[in-house]
Amino acid sequence: MSKQKRGRKHRVPQKRASREPSVPRPRDAAPVLPAGGMHLRGSMDQTATLLQHAKPDQLVELVLPHLWAALADGRVPANVCVDACMTLRHAYGQLGVRAELLPVDLAVQCKDGSGTRYGSLTPSWSGTSWNGHCVLVLPDSERFVDATVEQFDEVREIGAGPMIGKVALPTHDCGMLMEPGAQVMLQRGDLVLTYTIAGPDALASIVEHPEMAAHADRHHRTGVNAASFTLAALRGEGVRGRAMQAPHPRLRALLRAVGDARYEADEGGDVRFRVADQTGRELWLRMDEIPLPPTVPAAWPRS
């Protein structure tokens, strides 16, 4: 939703080919709003800290959005929050975590009482650009994830990365995970971020729009790649043991399947692991191609 500047460069400390991995990219130039903004800068240091200290039930939920922001490396305008959420929804889902889109209105209040409002309770499209703000909800862990919150100047100045908090998720007849009009208040430094939940029409404006159908394959592909890097990070020394205790059977099965296999980005930019297929032959396979036991839950989203 805002203008962007280039962020600091960070490299992923992993063994892979020199070809660039596929990471989420914008479809078109984003609309400019008065508040300004910049590219996500990401932080591998923040990601490393989470990998070192996060509890088993926190690892995927916390590490993935931070790693995604670092992998984006300034190439993804944070204001394309819909693309980010669609990508991360697939990434979470590949690792066995259900994630759902949640359109919101966001009010950021400063210590002196001043503030700025972003997003809309009645978002709309301008050509190929969506005018609103979108986050993710993880129903099973009741976590709230705003991966692109640092598009907003006052939030970005604090430098804490994506916003991740806990919410209560009662069931509602409208099919929404949270009641329209409900609010989630989270603290970031001296700022208070108040998210107001938009209604089912706002959600429909995303999922039923032709732009989403047109880019569904790209969202899936970039989500698989983000999940692949996360999987590689979770099998690292000092991390894998906790990851194997995470409450996600699909994640545990993937960790067993890839072991310490090599991985790299192929000529098309897709991350592939060198693993055995169902016949025992070693092949370079994308995460969504790796054979898993039939008892392993399918990836989200599920049709």
Residues 6+ apart with CB under 8 A from 190: 110, 111
pLDDT of residue 40: 57
pLDDT of residue 8: 39
User: Above 70 in pLDDT, residue 277?
Assistant: yes
Strands (E) in the chain, as ranges, are 100-109, 115-119, 124-126, 129-131, 133-138, 143-146, 163-166, 183-188, 191-197, 263-265, 271-276, 282-285
Torsion of CA 72, 215, 268, 260, to 10 degrees: 60
CA 229/CA 301 separation, integer angstroms: 19
Closest CA to 226 of 8, 49, 63, 108: 63
pLDDT digits (tens, 9 = 90+) for 151-184: 888 998 999 999 999 998 765 555 567 889 999 9
pTM for the complete prediction?
0.85
- Cα dihedral sign, 117-119-123-128: positive
Tokens (6 digits) for 260: 């310490």
pLDDT of residue 168: 81
pLDDT of residue 174: 52
* Mean of the per-residue pLDDT values of the chain: 84
8 A C-beta contact, residue 273 and residue 255: no
pLDDT digits (tens, 9 = 90+) for 114-147: 999 999 999 999 888 889 999 999 999 999 999 9
User: Above 80 in pLDDT, residue 13?
Assistant: no
Nearest-5° Cα angle at 194, 190 to 200: 160
Model confidence at 273, pLDDT cuts 50, 70, 90, reads: very high
Q: What's the Rg (C-alpha) of the chain?
A: 19
Strand 100-109 versus strand 191-197 pairing type:
antiparallel
Burial class (CB in 10 A: 0-12, 13-18, 19+), 241: exposed
Model confidence at 266, pLDDT cuts 50, 70, 90, reads: confident
User: Above 50 in pLDDT, residue 16?
Assistant: no
pLDDT digits (tens, 9 = 90+) for 194-249: 999 999 999 999 999 999 999 999 999 999 999 999 999 999 999 999 999 999 99
For residues 60-76, average pLDDT: 85
8 A C-beta contact, residue 214 and residue 183: no
pLDDT digits (tens, 9 = 90+) for 253-262: 999 999 999 9
Which of 14-28, 49-63, 161-175, 228-242 is the least confident region? 14-28
Burial class (CB in 10 A: 0-12, 13-18, 19+), 103: buried
User: Above 70 in pLDDT, residue 35?
Assistant: no
